[in-house]
Amino acid sequence: MEVIGRRAVVGSVLAALGTLVALGLGPEVAPAQQAPAQQDTLQAVIKRGELIVGTFNFFPPWGYLDAQNNLVGMDVDIAKDLAEQMKVKLSLVPVPTAPDRINFLVAGKIDVAISNFTATVERSKTITFTDPYVIDGFGVIFRKEAKIKDWPDMNGKKVAVTTGSTGEILVSQKAPKAQVLRFDQASAALLAVQQGKADAQIEDYTYTVYHAGRDPKKSLGFIEKPFDLNPYAFGVRKNDQEWLTFLNFYIYKLHQSGKMKELYKKWFNAEPARVSPSW
């Protein structure tokens, strides 16, 4: 009975998998509506009395853990301010990786993603971005001994990136012959560079400036001129018009009231780049 039993089980399991493959190759399975239903996160948050924000906890100075292991940072301060303005409680959810900002939004685990989220056309296919609240660019942090002066120098070298980040996409464009190491989190990629496992890391410009500066061994440099200028925006789900409008208004007030200037000075000791009101 044992032999027959095992084969029957194997057979049925493989049959089930075959069905899965057939489903996959067949016509797309789609419910009646083609797009997600109309959302109303704004009402949901107000009714709940709680705002759930997704941030990173490994990406200084936007979201990271301080010496006392409290979650702090620029994005955290903005989230706190937003919750205060809405007069609700704030719940911060640490998002493990870059693509998870989108995964968590789509799965409904967070109301909004405020996590140095670069707005791109590709990402806009799955979620919606608010107006930008900060402008950043791309940068490279590298080991001084690797002698990297500009982007093409990375060809043939080991470059660490984060899966699902804009840096990952950029390395294939700017340095297609580079050997790429993909990590879940920017901090792990940075550690790889610091330990010499990679020669460079592509990340957002402000990140590269600060981490090159903080290395106690002073062995890291960064490329002075940021490549491209990227808007950071809040991420929300598709078809969530009221929430989107509300957040856009919040961002406008953030700049107009001078709060953004105050926060930027606190975390970067500099003036924020001018943000145009719309793309």
Partner 1 sequence: MPGYVFQFRLVFQDFATLLEGAALTLHLSLLTLVLSLVVGTIGALCRLSRLGWLRRLATWYVEVVRNTPLLVQLFFIYFGLGQVNIDVPNYLAALIGLVFNNGAYLTEIVRAGIEAVPRAQYDAALSLGLSYPQLMRRVVFPQAFRVIYPPLCNQFIGIILFSSLVSVIAVEDLALKGKMLISRTFRSFETYMVVTAMYVVMTVTISAALKLVGRRAFRRA
Partner 2 sequence: MVPNFVQDQLNRWDALLLFQGLVNTVRLCALGLAVGLLIALVVGLARASGRVWLWLPAAAYIEVIRDSPLLMQLYVIFFALPILLKIEIPVFWAGVAALTVNGSAFMAEIVRAGIESVGRDQWDAARSLGMGYPQIMRWVVLPQAIRVMIPPAVGLSIGLVKDSSIVSVLSYVELTRAGQILMEKTFLSFQVFGIVAVLYFLLCYPLSRLALWTERSLQVVKADG
Judged by the rule CB under 8 A, the positions of this chain that interact with partner 1 are 10, 13-14, 17, 20-21, 23-25, 28-31, 33-37, 39, 97-99, 102-103, 106-108, 123, 125-126, 160, 163-164, 168, 181-184, 188, 191-192, 195-197, 237-239
C-beta closer to partner 2: residue 39 or 130 = 39
Applying the rule CB under 8 A, the residues between 152 and 211 that interact with partner 2 are 184-185, 187-188, 190-191, 194, 210
Tell me how far, at minimum, the Cβ of 164 lies from partner 1, in Å: 3
Closest CA to 190 of 169, 224, 165: 165
Contacts with partner 2 by CB under 8 A: the residue count is 38
Tell me how far, at minimum, the Cβ of 225 lies from partner 1, in Å: 27
Check: CB of residue 157 under 8 Å from CB of residue 146.
yes
The backbone torsions φ and ψ at residue 227, rounded to the nearest 5 degrees and listed phi first, read: -90, 130
Question: Which amino acid does the sequence have at 26?
Answer: G
Binding mask 8-47 for partner 2 (x = CB under 8 A): xxx-xx----------------------------------
Tell me how far, at minimum, the Cβ of 45 lies from partner 1, in Å: 15
Tell me how far, at minimum, the Cβ of 249 lies from partner 2, in Å: 28
C-alpha 182/C-alpha 161 separation (Å) is 5
Tell me how far, at minimum, the Cβ of 210 lies from partner 2, in Å: 7
Q: How distant, in Å, are the alpha carbons of 23, 36, 90 from that of 32?
A: 18, 10, 36
Q: Contact region for partner 2 (CB under 8 A) — 90-98, 112-120, 166-174, 244-252? A: 90-98
Query: What Rg, from alpha-carbon coordinates, does the chain have?
Result: 22
272 binds partner 2 (CB under 8 A): no
58 binds partner 2 (CB under 8 A): yes
Applying the rule CB under 8 A, the residues between 91 and 150 that interact with partner 2 are 94-96, 103, 107-109
227 binds partner 2 (CB under 8 A): no
Q: Which does 15 bind (CB under 5 to 8 A by kind): partner 2, partner 1, none?
A: none
Q: Which residues bind partner 2 (CB under 8 A)?
A: 5-6, 8-10, 12-13, 57-58, 60-61, 64-69, 94-96, 103, 107-109, 184-185, 187-188, 190-191, 194, 210, 214, 216, 266-269
